[in-house]
Amino acid sequence: MIIQRTVDVSQLTRQLTGEILVEGMSDAWRSRIRALSRAITFLENDPLLAMNVLANEHFAGQACHSRVIGLTGLPGAGKSSLTNLMVRAIRKSQKSVAVLAVDPSSPLSGGAVLGDRVRMQEHFRDPGVFIRSMGSRGALGGVARSTRGAIRLAGLLGFDYILVETVGIGQSESEIVELADTTVLVLMPNSGDEVQLMKAGVLQLADVYVVNKSDIANPARMMNELHENTAPSDISHWCPRVLATSATNEQGIEDLVQALEDHRIYETTHPKGHEVRRERATREILRALHNVIEPDFISAINTLKKKELEDVIEGKRPALSVAHELAKTFKRSH
């Protein structure tokens, strides 16, 4: 909240559009990138800032055409290694790309940030590439909200692709699925991942399944299992791609980039694909609505009497009934 007061949203927005340059910078595009980096720092502290920036008149009516790709999977599966190679492949086709690595320093693979930095070094000087890691334990709303804001802001700068790396199997996927146009789940062969996947019920979530590290173990069994479990019953639906890669040997990367392109074509040309996008947009609006209304809800909750809270604590009254009552008062006052 303190940060929010110190941000000059109008100035930041004008820096993001390139209308004014960040102090000390002479190159317009690099200045915009610097502004983006700054904006993301502010966002991590106050995710609602994105809303203020996006609603600013400088951005009014400006469309984002970026393709958002979410990469997820267990720590150490090879997400960053694959991201690095995908960036290279995307750059070969002259497209620009922003990489947002959410919480890259997972405890299991330790020191990943440093590793990522070394790996990504070849892209740091490339003005067509923006790389940024984001903490997952940010204030107010956590990963999803600040990541969503960062995606939107990067989109306004016109990046062709935005790659978002998140760690996890389970809950965090559902978040990334909502954020991404295409979700890629990165797995390791013979790691017992499949058992975990079944348990977490995430086999229907991704659009592309990548069995990485195929240089150290045969990916065939896992690929079969994925094929069997992810094929849609309705053939007009997208049939998730199942690919084997080896980031170490730089194998399978072109197929992966092609799968992303195929999925884009499906989503933008197929009626069913359009339906999926409509559902995603609806969910996004719903979530945004929630974000817009939440501060008012919090104020309403703060008006609760001690007695009402105690009743819920003691189990004398369900929280839902209190909520209903609050909602009634809320509707009357709006």
Ligand X SMILES: Nc1nc2c(ncn2[C@@H]2O[C@H](COP(=O)(O)OP(=O)(O)OP(=O)(O)O)[C@@H](O)[C@H]2O)c(=O)[nH]1
Q: What character string, x for contact with ligand X (CB under 6 A) and - otherwise, covers 197-216?
A: ---------------xx-xx
Tell me phi and psi for residue 226, to 5 degrees: -65, -45
Q: Does 73 bind Mg ion (CB under 5 A)?
A: no
Identify any residues that bridge with 242 across adjacent strands, giving them in sequence order.
209
Q: Does 128 bind ligand X (CB under 6 A)?
A: no
Q: Does 80 bind Mg ion (CB under 5 A)?
A: yes
Q: Does 109 bind ligand X (CB under 6 A)?
A: yes
- Taking the least distance from each CB to ligand X, the nearer of 66 and 136 is 136
106 binds, among ligand X, Mg ion, none (CB under 5 to 8 A by kind): ligand X
Q: Does 246 bind Mg ion (CB under 5 A)?
A: no
Least distance to ligand X, CB of residue 268, Å: 29
Q: Does 176 bind ligand X (CB under 6 A)?
A: no
DSSP string covering 249-277: TTBSHHHHHHHHHHHHHHHHHSHHHHHHH
115 binds, among ligand X, Mg ion, none (CB under 5 to 8 A by kind): ligand X
DSSP string covering 97-138: EEEEEES---TTT-SHHHHHHHHHHHHHT-TTEEEEEE-SS-
Q: Centre a 10 Å sphere on the Cβ of residue 295 and count the other Cβ atoms it contains.
A: 10
Q: Does 179 bind ligand X (CB under 6 A)?
A: no
Q: Does 133 bind ligand X (CB under 6 A)?
A: no
Within residues 94-133, the interface with Mg ion by CB under 5 A covers: 104, 112
Q: Does 75 bind ligand X (CB under 6 A)?
A: yes
Q: What character string, x for contact with ligand X (CB under 6 A) and - otherwise, covers 252-281?
A: ------------------------------
- Taking the least distance from each CB to Mg ion, the nearer of 146 and 166 is 166
In sequence order, which residues have a C-beta less than 8 Å from that of residue 271 and are 6 or more positions away? 236
- Which of 31, 136, 146, 246 binds ligand X (CB under 6 A)? It is 246
Q: How many residues bind ligand X (CB under 6 A)?
A: 21
- Which of 98, 112, 164, 180 binds ligand X (CB under 6 A)? It is 112
- Exposure string (b/e) for 108-142, b if CB count within 10 Å is 16 or more? ebeebeeebeebbeebeeeebbbbbbbebebeebe
In sequence order, which residues have a C-beta less than 8 Å from that of residue 209 and are 6 or more positions away? 184, 185, 187, 226, 230, 240, 241, 242, 243
- Exposure string (b/e) for 145-173, b if CB count within 10 Å is 16 or more? bbbbbbbbbbbbbebebbbbbbbbbeebb
Q: Which residues contribute to the site for Mg ion (CB under 5 A)?
A: 79-80, 104, 112
Q: Which residues contribute to the site for ligand X (CB under 6 A)?
A: 73, 75-81, 104, 106, 109, 112, 115, 167, 212-213, 215-216, 246-248
